[in-house]
């Protein structure tokens, strides 16, 4: 007997319940990945993620080959391709992980319909991309938690399942057709500092970071220049690492760093359970609606300056340039750049979220849209009117200015924290820098914010 395992956001062999179940149910399995034309049509396959995905697929194929198998890659509408592969290999079952976005739900429906026509069963496995499945930790009287802290308290008491080891052998039948596994080199327009993708690279990174970085995480994770966070987000986005396994490994090490790291992982689950319950929150204001945002027509110049990292606020510009160069940005930098766009420039959060999705290698409908809503004050923040002052943030989280000097070469010769306020430098020095004056005074930004919120 043969079963198909459809890989989606779970590109790994360790801790993979659908693969384990398929190997148990059948003598042979077909590990399948479909380069889904539906995702391409939605404009979601930005170059950075396409390149990282190519690495993940190549690594998965290599690991499968070591176990006697291989990865079958197809291109096209996902339901059609899965149906065709199931027919070619005579599979009775297709196993896959559950998703939470509306796209994932529609995909499941289409697959169920297509496979049902030919008598093939679709088996959907929960909690592969999160630690606990959305909908399993709920308050009484509601289908999800709308505030993080009470969710975290309940989540933290729940013991996650034991992670599964990688299978020793994966027997794959002969004769199932596939296209060559894509190569990163085929993708153009990627950020120069993009990390290597794949389960092997992700496991290596976690092993190294958990030895040296985990114990420093509790105190150091907000230090912009220290760069002390795990940088595991792209591996989690593609499922090259299992969040269940990370929670177990971190708890084995223990200590305040591990606790803080596990709490941060809980944010992923929190956002997943919000979006699973309210799929429309990927585009519409979740809790509080605001109608007076500035859009592309009103704020084209400001938006362009923000995207390009020339707002005149060095910490904002450093962060936006890091995003373009690495396809990744530090969480503190994401918070302050998003706050600057939505609350100082008063630009619609969807415009910022789109730009992040165009570049972030971990760019994710769930985490990106709901974090943007959190910052914009339309989402789950219990203090929706807070505004992060970029200057205060800069002095607190980049006290010596090293982060700014790393990313804004025009300011490379300005010493210490003076780098955060180039407008205070003597005029002749300032003019020689070739760095722009601030787009807007912070007091003016705050006044516009208050005025707009007053009208909403
Ligand atoms: P670490 O600090 O090492 O944290 C460990 C893991 O916890 C991360 O890899 C991530 O999976 C998870 N995590 C940490 N913080 C959050 C958070 N606030 N929300 C959800 N998960 C979190 N994260 C994404 O994965 N994809 C996105 O598209 C995304 N967009 C964001 C947009 C904005 C405006 C903001 C403020 C945050 C966004 N985040 C997003 C969350 C967070 O910034 C990144 O997960 C984090 O910076 C990744 O770096 P790291 O792996 O070193 O994190």
Average pLDDT over residues 205-210: 97
Average pLDDT over residues 156-170: 95
Closest to 274 in 3D by CA, of 379, 382, 126, 144: 144
Give yes or no: residues 411 and 325 share one domain.
Answer: yes
Give the pLDDT confidence of 210-230 residue by residue, as tens digits: 999 999 999 999 999 999 999
Question: Mind listing the pLDDT tens digit for each residue in 296-312?
Answer: 999 999 999 999 999 99
Cα 430 to chain centroid distance, Å, stands at 38
Pocket of ligand 1 (CB under 6 A): 221, 229-233, 236-237, 261, 264-265, 267-268, 271, 331, 334-335, 338, 356, 360, 362-364, 367-368, 371-372, 375
Sheet holding 2-7, edge to edge: 72-76, 28-36, 2-7, 93-97, 121-125
- Judge contact between 344 and 442, C-beta under 8 A: yes
Same domain flag for 83 and 33? yes
Contact of 144 with 136, CB cutoff 8 Å: no
Gap from CA of 400 to ligand 1 centroid (Å): 24
pLDDT tens for 235-285 read 999 999 999 999 999 999 999 999 999 999 999 999 999 999 999 999 999
* Distance, CA of 88 to CA of 282 (rounded, Å): 37
Q: How far is the CA of 449 from the centre of ligand 1 (A)?
A: 26
The DSSP H or E segment spanning 267 is helix 256-277
How does residue 291 score in pLDDT terms, banded at 50, 70 and 90?
confident
Helices (H), 377-426: 390-397, 402-407
* pLDDT tens figures, 13-47: 999 999 999 999 999 999 999 999 888 877 788 99
**Residue-wise pLDDT tens digits, 64-89:** 999 999 999 999 999 999 999 999 99
Tell me, what's the pLDDT at 453?
85
CATH for 218: 1.25.40.80
Residues 251 and 368 reside in one and the same domain: no
Q: Tell me if 290 is assigned to some domain.
A: no
CB 362 within 8 A of CB 195: no
Residue 167 counted as domain residue: no
Nearest CA to ligand 1 atom 37: 371
User: Cα separation of 151 and 40, whole Å?
Assistant: 34
Residues 49, 345: Cα–Cα separation, whole Å: 28
Query: Is pLDDT of 397 > 90?
Result: yes
Confidence band, pLDDT 50/70/90 cuts, at residue 185: very high
Residues written for the chain: 456
* Residue 79 domain flag: yes
- Best mutation site among 349, 367, 369 for ligand 1, i.e. most ligand atoms within 8 A of its Cβ? 367
The number of domains in the chain is: 3
Within this chain, do residues 260 and 335 fall inside the same structural domain, yes or no?
A: no
- The sign of the dihedral angle between the CA atoms of 345, 346, 351, 352 is positive
DSSP states of 292-355 as a string? --B-HHHHHHHHHHHHHT-SS-HHHHHHHHHHHHHS---HHHHHHHHHIIIIIS-B-HHHHHHH
Task: Give pLDDT, residue 366.
Answer: 95
**Domain check: are 63 and 106 in the same one?**
yes
**Do 152 and 255 reside in the same domain of the chain?**
yes
- Cα dihedral 240, 242, 245, 249, rounded to 10, equals 50
Instruction: Specify the CATH number for the domain of residue 83.
Output: 3.40.50.620
Whether 164 is in a domain gets the answer: no
One domain for residues 366 and 224: no
Structural domain containing residue 355: 296-455
Q: Residue 295: count other Cβ atoms within 10 Å of its Cβ.
A: 12
pLDDT at 37: 87
pLDDT of residue 19: 98
For residues 106 and 228, state if they share a domain: no
Q: For ligand 1, pick from 202, 331, 397 the residue to mutate: most ligand atoms within 8 Å of CB.
A: 331
The atom number, within ligand 1, closest to the CA of 329 reads 47
393 assigned to some structural domain: yes
Burial of 387 (0-12, 13-18, 19+ CB in 10 A): middle
Mean of pLDDT over the chain: 96
């Amino acid at each position: 007997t043969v079963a198909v395992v459809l890989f989606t956001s779970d590109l790994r062999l360790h801790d993979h319940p659908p693969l384990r179940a398929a190997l148990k149910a059948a003598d042979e399995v077909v590990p399948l990945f479909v380069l889904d034309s539906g995702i391409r049509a939605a404009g979601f396959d930005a170059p950075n993620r396409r390149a990282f995905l190519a690495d993940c697929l190549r690594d998965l194929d290599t690991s499968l080959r070591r176990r006697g198998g291989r990865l079958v890659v197809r291109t096209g509408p996902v339901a059609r391709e899965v149906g065709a592969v199931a027919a070619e290999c005579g599979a009775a079952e297709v196993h896959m992980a559950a998703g939470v976005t509306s796209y994932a739900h529609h995909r499941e429906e289409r697959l169920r319909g297509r496979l049902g026509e030919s008598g093939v069963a679709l088996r959907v496995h929960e909690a592969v991309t999160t630690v606990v499945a959305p909908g399993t930790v709920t308050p009484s009287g509601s289908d999800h938690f709308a505030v993080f802290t009470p969710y975290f308290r309940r989540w933290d008491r729940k013991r996650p399942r034991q992670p599964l080891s990688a299978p020793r052998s994966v027997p794959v039948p002969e004769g199932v057709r596939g296209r060559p596994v894509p190569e990163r080199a085929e993708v153009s327009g990627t950020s120069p500092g993009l990390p290597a993708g794949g389960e092997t690279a992700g496991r290596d990174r976690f092993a190294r970071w958990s030895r040296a970085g985990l114990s420093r995480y509790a105190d150091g994770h907000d230090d912009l220049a220290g760069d002390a966070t795990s940088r595991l987000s792209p591996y989690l986005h593609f499922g090259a690492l299992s969040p269940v396994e990370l929670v177990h490994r971190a708890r084995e090490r223990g200590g305040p760093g591990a606790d803080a790291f596990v709490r941060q992982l809980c944010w992923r689950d929190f956002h997943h359970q919000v979006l699973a319950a309210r799929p429309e929150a990927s585009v519409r204001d979740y809790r509080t609606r605001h109608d007076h945002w500035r859009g592309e027509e009103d704020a084209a110049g400001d938006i362009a300056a923000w995207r390009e990292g020339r707002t005149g606020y060095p910490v904002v510009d450093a962060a936006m340039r890091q995003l373009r160069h690495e396809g990744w940005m530090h969480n503190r930098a994401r918070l302050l750049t998003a706050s600057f766009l939505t609350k100082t420039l008063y630009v619609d959060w969807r415009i910022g979220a789109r730009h992040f999705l165009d570049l972030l290698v971990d760019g994710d409908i769930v985490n990106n849209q709901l974090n943007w809503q959190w910052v914009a004050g339309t989402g789950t923040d219990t203090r929706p009117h807070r505004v992060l002052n970029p200057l205060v943030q800069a002095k607190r989280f980049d006290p010596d200015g090293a982060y700014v000097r790393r990313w804004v070469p025009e300011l490379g010769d300005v010493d210490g924290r003076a780098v955060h306020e180039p407008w205070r430098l003597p005029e002749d020095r300032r003019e020689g820098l070739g760095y722009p004056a601030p787009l807007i005074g912070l007091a003016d930004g705050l006044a516009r914010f208050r005025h707009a919120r007053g009208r909403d």
